[in-house]
Amino acid sequence: MRRIIRRLLFISGVVAVLFISTPVSAATSNAGDGRWVNPISDVCWKCLFPMSLGSIQLASGPQPDTSNPSSPIQICSYGVLYRIGMAIGYWEPTAMTDVTREPGVMVNMGGFKIDLGRTGTGTAGQSDRPAAGAFYHVHWYKYPLISWLTIMTSLGCFQGGDMDIAYLSEVDPLWNDSTLSMIINPEAALFGNLVSQAACAADAVSSTAGLPLAPLFWCAGSQGSMYPFTGYTSGEFSPLESSLLVSERMAFKLHREGLVMNTVGADVAVCYEYPSPIVPKERWRYQMVNMYPETNSCHPFGASTQTWGTSHNSPQSKKNFGYLLWRKRNCVYL
């Protein structure tokens, strides 16, 4: 408990420094929507599950599980040394995203605004553009909740460190330029056709029923297409759907850039983490934490919002959203 208090005090200190170092006009120019995320009451704790030991399920969860190693005992090599441990699997809260039209608005940190200079403002809905479309900025936070609460003690089985702002789309020239983004996703040209996009209907059904289809990596299920890795969406008829789409794209983008690693639920391979240029979308979940926390459930990437989104998408919203992202963690508890 003392460690948790120290962590919260540290985060509060960081925010205080940001407020002091930010110009008054920027600090007071609040976009209106935004609140601090409570790491206890705003989190869907049952989303940690299913939890497994090897192929043995120790506890069930609200959603189906991904693959796990067959053996509960694993031998991992570290250079010339070997260590024996238990292969465990669980879902780890690993990141948060802000989705906002107004540059610099930190939705999950109380809604205050950082002055980022001459950065373009996003658009949304059908009235802002000639065609029904949108543009949003996304902020990616490192959110090592398991480390804060010391639920795990083996360093290889959780994300360590402190809460940190890991990525701001406002300072990324690729995020608002579909042509320039082709540098990191050239394969997008292969999937901009009716046949490829029609296949995403199957991914939407599968995601809503349980898990997305890994072979259809270019699909974001009910949200549309993962490509391009930008904040533009071609047709916005629901701000909630658009906010989820750009959050999922950001996860894919960070995987492609090697900034987010992946674990594998297989014997021997479970010992290590790996780069994954193609996002393993079946190993990701999300829950809303802003503006209206959804603490009773979480959802696979690409799942439809029809079953839960009505009460979380207010017509008075300034289209600022916040999500907690859960990632499947397979590791060896040493």
DSSP letter for each residue of 30-84 = --S---BPPTTTTS-GGGG--EEETTEEEE--SS------S-SEEEEEETTEEEE
Gap between the Cα atoms of 89 and 103, Å rounded:
37
pLDDT more than 90, % of the chain: 62
| Residue 51 or residue 20, greater confidence | 51
Are 285 and 300 contacting, i.e. CB atoms less than 8 angstroms apart?
yes
By C-alpha distance, which of 238, 221, 231, 229 is closest to 282?
A: 221
By C-alpha distance, which of 244, 268, 271, 249 is closest to 260?
A: 249
**Token pair 């949200």: residue:** 223
Model confidence at 30: pLDDT above 50:
no
Q: How confident is residue 129, by pLDDT bands cut at 50, 70 and 90?
A: low
14 HSE (CA, 13 A, CB side) = 10
Question: For 128-133, what is the mean pLDDT?
Answer: 57
Question: For 140-162, what is the mean pLDDT?
Answer: 83
Q: 49 is written with which tokens? A: 């599950």
Q: How many residues does the chain have?
A: 334
Query: Any alpha helices (H) in the chain, and if so which ranges?
Result: 2-21, 24-28, 145-148, 194-198, 200-209, 239-256
Determine the Cα angle at 71 with ends 65 and 76, to 5°: 105
Q: How confident is residue 235, by pLDDT bands cut at 50, 70 and 90?
A: confident
Q: 148 is written with which tokens? A: 């804060």
Q: Report the Cα–Cα distance between both ends of the chain, in Å, rounded.
A: 24
Question: For 52-62, what is the mean pLDDT?
Answer: 93
93-97, 157-161, 238-242 — which is least confidently predicted? 157-161
Gap between the Cα atoms of 16 and 14, Å rounded:
5
Gap between the Cα atoms of 260 and 277, Å rounded:
9
Are 269 and 262 contacting, i.e. CB atoms less than 8 angstroms apart?
no
Q: How confident is residue 300, by pLDDT bands cut at 50, 70 and 90?
A: very high
DSSP 123: B
By C-alpha distance, which of 128, 109, 100 is closest to 320?
A: 100
Q: Rounded mean pLDDT of the chain?
A: 85
Model confidence at 65: pLDDT above 70:
yes
Gap between the Cα atoms of 263 and 332, Å rounded:
11
Q: How confident is residue 130, by pLDDT bands cut at 50, 70 and 90?
A: low
Q: How confident is residue 24, by pLDDT bands cut at 50, 70 and 90?
A: very low
The per-residue pLDDT for 12 is: 43
Model confidence at 46: pLDDT above 60:
yes
Is 186 strand, coil or helix?
helix
pLDDT more than 70, % of the chain: 86
The per-residue pLDDT for 20 is: 34
Model confidence at 51: pLDDT above 70:
yes
DSSP 132: S
Gap between the Cα atoms of 36 and 42, Å rounded:
10
Model confidence at 25: pLDDT above 80:
no
pLDDT in tens, 179-221: 999 999 999 999 989 999 999 999 999 999 999 999 999 999 9
Is 290 strand, coil or helix?
strand
Gap between the Cα atoms of 120 and 135, Å rounded:
10
Q: How confident is residue 86, by pLDDT bands cut at 50, 70 and 90?
A: very high
The per-residue pLDDT for 132 is: 59
16-30, 45-59, 102-116, 145-159 — which is least confidently predicted? 16-30
The per-residue pLDDT for 5 is: 40
